[in-house]
């Protein structure tokens, strides 16, 4: 029996999707391969699920600034939906500049609602690439919650408006009983405080120091009202936050501008490590069985890779099966010792072939095929 090579990369951001990376690597290897594009819950999660056998469902939803945009989720007729926040509420959906105070997660809630109405029994929510810092308020509103100010009016979109929140009316909330919600994310930030959604991720979305303070106050108000009206976990002390609520302080509540908080508070979601859960979902264990090598990778192998990104997760899963792992990438800043600590025997970078990073981005496909041919020559000199 001829053993295969399992090609399981994440995307090369800005150049190639995970499926395109896998295809080019396979083309350059010249040996039997199985392609399994992967993702860690961020951009490309739906694409990876579709490449793994899911169907793509595309609907029109509310983008982060209120414009209507087409967005997709992955669907399996057994009742599992994979929803990627970046599809509806991501930075790439912004029509112009950043909108840190008013961007909304409403479109992500609309994707969830469509999946539930389609009959989903399990919804996997991948968080990453968010344009908003609204604590998942927009998501909750899309599912039927009313966020109301003291005058009885519904709050407008965005995190800044949350400072005016007076009460939350859940009477019209979509019936999600019987639906299991799983948040696939490796972010462990709480909602509030110096390590929270506004302080850490707000500036990446265009927030000034003044904006961060506004967003922090709004998120704190959302957590306080939700706790007071919906019986969430009791008050706990938290760094620099006088009275942070239990759900707000939970690891992962700050993911995607606080959408993690809404998933925990309103959907009673379970938080799972992104790449590990998605590898299970894609059937990695079955595909790696009988493989003689796993090739993983992403655009940049760096310190973030070691903190639970896709290549590290693939390497862990391959190690359980006793299969060696190498990685391809656009560039790497990791030492040989770093790679070994992550279970990766060697890294092959496009910059090894072409030092001009602009050309690496533009010609990533052909360069990957050359890297793959190098891997094949080193690993399989017999040509089998």
Return the closest-CA partner of residue 361 out of 8, 13, 112. Answer: 13
Q: Given phi > 0 = left and psi -120 to 50 = alpha, else beta, which region is 23?
A: alpha
Q: How far is CA 39 from CA 8, 112, 192, 337, in A?
A: 9, 19, 27, 25
| Sheet containing strand 55-62, strands side by side | 55-62, 68-76, 80-84, 122-126, 180-184, 270-272
* Separation between Cα atoms, residue 287 and residue 278, nearest integer Å: 14
pLDDT along the chain (384 residues), means of 10: 88 93 97 94 90 95 97 97 96 92 98 98 94 97 96 97 95 95 90 95 96 98 87 39 62 94 94 90 94 96 86 95 97 94 96 93 96 95 68
Return the closest-CA partner of residue 138 out of 196, 66, 67. Answer: 66
* Separation between Cα atoms, residue 153 and residue 140, nearest integer Å: 16
Query: How confident is the model at residue 241, as a pLDDT?
Result: 34
Query: How confident is the model at residue 230, as a pLDDT?
Result: 67
Reported as a single tens digit per residue, the pLDDT across 204-217 is 999 999 999 999 99
Query: How confident is the model at residue 238, as a pLDDT?
Result: 36
Query: How confident is the model at residue 243, as a pLDDT?
Result: 35
Domains and CATH numbers, the chain: 4-38+291-379 (3.40.50.10350), 45-275 (3.90.1510.10)
The 8-class DSSP code of residue 271 comes to: E
Query: How confident is the model at residue 273, as a pLDDT?
Result: 85
pTM for this predicted structure:
0.88
Beta strand 80-84 pairing with 122-126? parallel
Return the closest-CA partner of residue 11 out of 40, 53, 54, 31. Answer: 40
Reported as a single tens digit per residue, the pLDDT across 279-297 is 999 999 999 999 999 999 9
Query: How confident is the model at residue 235, as a pLDDT?
Result: 34
């Amino acid at each position: 029996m001829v053993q295969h090579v399992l090609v399981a990369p994440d995307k090369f951001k800005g150049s190639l999707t995970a499926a395109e990376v896998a295809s080019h690597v396979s083309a350059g290897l010249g040996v039997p391969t199985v392609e399994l594009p992967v993702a860690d819950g961020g951009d490309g999660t739906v694409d990876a699920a579709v490449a793994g056998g899911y169907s793509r469902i595309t609907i029109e939803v509310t983008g982060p600034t209120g414009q209507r945009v087409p967005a997709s989720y992955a669907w399996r007729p057994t009742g599992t939906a994979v929803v990627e926040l970046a599809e509806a509420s991501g930075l790439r959906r912004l029509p112009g500049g950043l909108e840190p105070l008013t961007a909304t997660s409403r479109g992500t809630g609309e994707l969830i609602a469509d999946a539930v109405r389609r009959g989903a029994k399990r919804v996997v929510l991948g968080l990453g690439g968010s344009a908003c810092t609204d604590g998942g308020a927009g998501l909750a509103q899309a599912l039927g919650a009313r966020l109301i100010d003291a005058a009885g009016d519904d709050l407008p979109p965005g995190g800044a408006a949350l400072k005016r929140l007076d009460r939350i009316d859940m009477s019209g909330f979509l019936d999600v009983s019987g639906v299991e919600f799983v948040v696939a994310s490796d972010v462990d930030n709480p909602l509030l405080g110096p390590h929270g959604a506004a302080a850490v991720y707000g500036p990446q979305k265009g927030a000034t120091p003044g904006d961060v303070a506004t967003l922090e106050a709004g998120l704190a108000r959302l957590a306080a009202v939700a706790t007071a009206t919906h019986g969430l976990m009791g008050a706990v002390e938290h760094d620099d936050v006088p009275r942070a609520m239990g759900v707000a302080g939970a690891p992962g509540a700050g993911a995607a501008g606080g959408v993690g908080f809404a998933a925990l508070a309103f959907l009673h979601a379970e938080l799972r490590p992104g790449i590990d859960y998605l590898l299970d979902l894609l059937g990695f264990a079955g595909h790696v069985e009988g493989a003689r090598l796993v090739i993983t990778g992403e655009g940049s192998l760096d310190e973030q890779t070691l903190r639970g990104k896709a290549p590290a997760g693939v390497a862990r899963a391959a190690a359980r099966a006793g299969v060696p792992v190498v990685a391809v990438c656009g560039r790497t800043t990791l030492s040989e010792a770093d790679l070994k600590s992550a279970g990766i025997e060697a890294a092959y970078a496009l910059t090894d072939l072409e030092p001009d990073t602009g050309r690496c981005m533009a010609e990533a496909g052909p360069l990957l095929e050359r890297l793959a041919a190098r891997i094949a020559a080193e690993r399989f000199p017999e040509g089998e």
